[in-house]
Chain A
Amino acid sequence: MSISLEEVRHVAQLARLELDEDEVLAFQGELNALLGHFLDIQGIDVSDIDAQSHAVTMQNVWAEDFPWESLPRELALKNAKVSRAGLFVVPAIIED
């Protein structure tokens, strides 16, 4: 199991990370080392274990549909780098 340079670039793009070629090479090495651990896991015999999407065995935890008090707006906006007129403000969005 190994990851190609092209895959590293694709993953970086999905994560909106700008990597130069040195970094792409460095990450390829790191990610391949990481994937090596999955090879170890693949060696384990799981043929008698059902596929799971969750580690917990709970199911059907619900909340009833009663509204609560939301955050005061000043508090909600407190972590925003920029806010104006009650809005979170971000740089113009350019679609790739």
Chain B
Amino acid sequence: MQSYIPSIGMEVHAELATRSKMFCRCSVAFGGQPNTRTCPICLGLPGTLPVPNRAAVEMVVRTALALNCTIAMRSIFHRKNYFYPDLPKGYQVSQYGDTNPLGYGGYIEIPTSDGGVKRVGIRRVHLEEDTGKLMHLPTGESGIDYNRAGVPLMEIVSEFPPDIQNAEEAKDYLVQLRQILLYLGVCDGKMEEGSLRCEPNISVRLKGAEKLGTKTELKNLNSFKSVQLGVGYETSRQAAVLEKGEKVLQETRGWNEQKEESYLMRIKETENDYRYFPDPDLIPMVFDDAYIEGLRKSLPELPLSKSQRYEKDYGLDRKESWEFLVDPEWSRFYEEAVKLGGDPRLIRNEMVSEFAKHLNETGIPARESRVTPAHIVELTKLKKEGQITSKMGKDVFVAMVKDGRMPAQIVKESGAVQISDESQLTSIIEEVLKTHPDAVAKYKGGQVNVKGFLVGQIMRQSKGQANPEMVQDLLQKALEQA
């Protein structure tokens, strides 16, 4: 087989995290009874006038800034005309043109496996409205729920010709974009609920060929895994078609998650004729520099910058950094703990072991847990200073989860302080050696690994409270003298 180069364009739709819809104030929420969040405006009834949601516009501008876009200082809404029952008005309000979308000509940086970053161009970031939801009824008819109709929707389109060249990069692009949206707080990023949707277009061409191949569009991808598998599948499918001497057809394909293969949805014979025109009901949006610069200054630190800081200042590696960064709340918790003066490495270890396990098991978000960053910092300090063993740390953890007491207080009240007193430890060791003369004999006979067994016995005797390093030293001395 000859060598083919894939080119992947990404079209991502994100439902904005506003409280109300784009052009009316019907509430925005997931689920609920169908058609309970509609009004004359979002039902497209005659005689109504839409008014844009300021918060939604601001979220898109902030996203465009975070994606290094140029901001359209004057921007208008267009009508995209087509008939489909999920579209009550017969058109979707959107933004047309190269320099009219709120943001255009930006880029996103994606961390690569070699430790660097890859830059992927962003063509446009624009604001539109979501459609209703269509359900197929057993009668063969279709049922429509307009709760989602008019929900503010942001579309982010990658640059053409595409910078993304394989399935993994496509997934990484989406992961990174989702992280940025989460940190900006503009989208909840739930792919399984459809608030973040991704439709890649894929083409392949022979290595060395200049002209891009015919592209297909892939739909129904509702997880990162589907995006990676789907794009991978589609590139090999197209390469196989070309290898057979056949032509790739311009078509829309769906992704079957169970079978892990794409299937034909429809062939696009003609370009859609949407007859875009300026929406006369919606007046222009005009921004000044002061407003845009104000928004730029208000942007939070973005995940890529955080990960570089975690690596440089906290000594974490890239994988460890992203363990925190996948969840803004988790990374905020971590940063707060480090700020309290803890050791970044020890805090990290404490958080990803007992604490993460606890949150996973209970399903409690970190911010609602009784365990605060201060608890974690104090716990790591007690361990580091040798006041408690890591085994005792686990008991302390259980106690602080239960009633929120601070670790030092728990230790004090339980009396379970680590035994670091030399004479106390020596007497425990002597007792253990006395009860296990055979082990001592074995050690003297050259079986040095029997020492591990003796350490275990000493720890048990001390109820896990013996300082492990001191036990090692003192036991060594005792065995030599025995």
Could you tell me if B36 and A91 are in contact, using CB atoms closer than 8 angstroms? no
Could you tell me if A91 and B53 are in contact, using CB atoms closer than 8 angstroms? no
Closest to B140 in A: A92
A92 partner, pick from B28, B142, B145, beta carbons under 8 A: B142
Could you tell me if B280 and A54 are in contact, using CB atoms closer than 8 angstroms? yes
Q: Bound complex: CA of A61 vs CA of B136, how far in Å?
A: 39
Measured between beta carbons, the chain A residues less than 8 angstroms from B40 are 71
A63 partner, pick from B52, B83, B85, B145, beta carbons under 8 A: B52
A90 to chain B, nearest CB (A): 5
A70 partner, pick from B38, B85, B286, beta carbons under 8 A: B38
B159 to chain A, nearest CB (A): 26
A57 to chain B, nearest CB (A): 9
B residues 40-99 in Cβ contact with A at 8 Å = 40, 43, 45, 51-57, 76, 81, 83-85
Could you tell me if A90 and B284 are in contact, using CB atoms closer than 8 angstroms? no
| Chain A residues with a Cβ closer than 8 Å to the other chain, count | 36
Could you tell me if B19 and A65 are in contact, using CB atoms closer than 8 angstroms? yes
Interface stretch among A18-26, A31-39, A40-48, A81-89? Answer: A81-89
Could you tell me if B83 and A66 are in contact, using CB atoms closer than 8 angstroms? no
From known contacts A56-B283, A73-B35, infer whether A68 and B20 are also in contact, taking CB-CB under 8 Å. Answer: yes
Interface of B is mostly: loop
Could you tell me if A87 and B54 are in contact, using CB atoms closer than 8 angstroms? no
Measured between beta carbons, the chain A residues less than 8 angstroms from B18 are 65
B139 to chain A, nearest CB (A): 8
Could you tell me if B54 and A64 are in contact, using CB atoms closer than 8 angstroms? yes
Could you tell me if A76 and B35 are in contact, using CB atoms closer than 8 angstroms? yes
Could you tell me if A65 and B56 are in contact, using CB atoms closer than 8 angstroms? yes
B232 to chain A, nearest CB (A): 28
Measured between beta carbons, the chain A residues less than 8 angstroms from B480 are none
B51 partner, pick from A63, A73, A91, beta carbons under 8 A: A63
Could you tell me if A86 and B33 are in contact, using CB atoms closer than 8 angstroms? yes
- 0/1 string, B140-174, CB within 8 A of A gives 1: 11111110000000000000000000000000000
Q: Bound complex: CA of A55 vs CA of B33, how far in Å?
A: 41
Q: Bound complex: CA of A82 vs CA of B142, how far in Å?
A: 11
Measured between beta carbons, the chain B residues less than 8 angstroms from A61 are 51-52, 283
Measured between beta carbons, the chain B residues less than 8 angstroms from A68 are 20, 24-27, 39
A96 to chain B, nearest CB (A): 10
Assess whether B117 is interfacial by the CB under 8 Å rule.
no
A67 partner, pick from B27, B51, B76, beta carbons under 8 A: B27
A89 to chain B, nearest CB (A): 5
B100 to chain A, nearest CB (A): 9
Q: Bound complex: CA of A88 vs CA of B142, how far in Å?
A: 8
Assess whether B312 is interfacial by the CB under 8 Å rule.
no
Q: Bound complex: CA of A53 vs CA of B77, how far in Å?
A: 10
Q: Bound complex: CA of A66 vs CA of B142, how far in Å?
A: 32
Measured between beta carbons, the chain A residues less than 8 angstroms from B280 are 54-55
Q: Bound complex: CA of A90 vs CA of B144, how far in Å?
A: 8
A85 partner, pick from B39, B143, B266, beta carbons under 8 A: B143
Q: Bound complex: CA of A76 vs CA of B84, how far in Å?
A: 19
- 0/1 string, A1-29, CB within 8 A of B gives 1: 00000000010001010000000000000
Closest to B270 in A: A10
Could you tell me if A64 and B34 are in contact, using CB atoms closer than 8 angstroms? no
A66 to chain B, nearest CB (A): 6
Could you tell me if B20 and A66 are in contact, using CB atoms closer than 8 angstroms? yes
Measured between beta carbons, the chain B residues less than 8 angstroms from A59 are 283-286
Q: Which of B83, B134, B135, B283 has the most CB of A within 10 A?
A: B283
Q: Bound complex: CA of A87 vs CA of B284, how far in Å?
A: 35
Measured between beta carbons, the chain A residues less than 8 angstroms from B51 are 61-63
Assess whether A93 is interfacial by the CB under 8 Å rule.
yes
Contact surface of B with A, Cβ cutoff 8 Å: 18-20, 24-28, 33-40, 43, 45, 51-57, 76, 81, 83-85, 134-137, 140-146, 266, 273, 275, 278, 280, 283-286
List 5 contacting pairs A-B, 8 Å CB cutoff, sorted by A: A64-B54, A76-B35, A86-B33, A91-B142, A92-B142
Smallest CB-CB A-B distances: 10 pairs = A87-B143, A62-B54, A65-B55, A53-B278, A67-B27, A68-B25, A63-B51, A88-B144, A67-B20, A86-B34
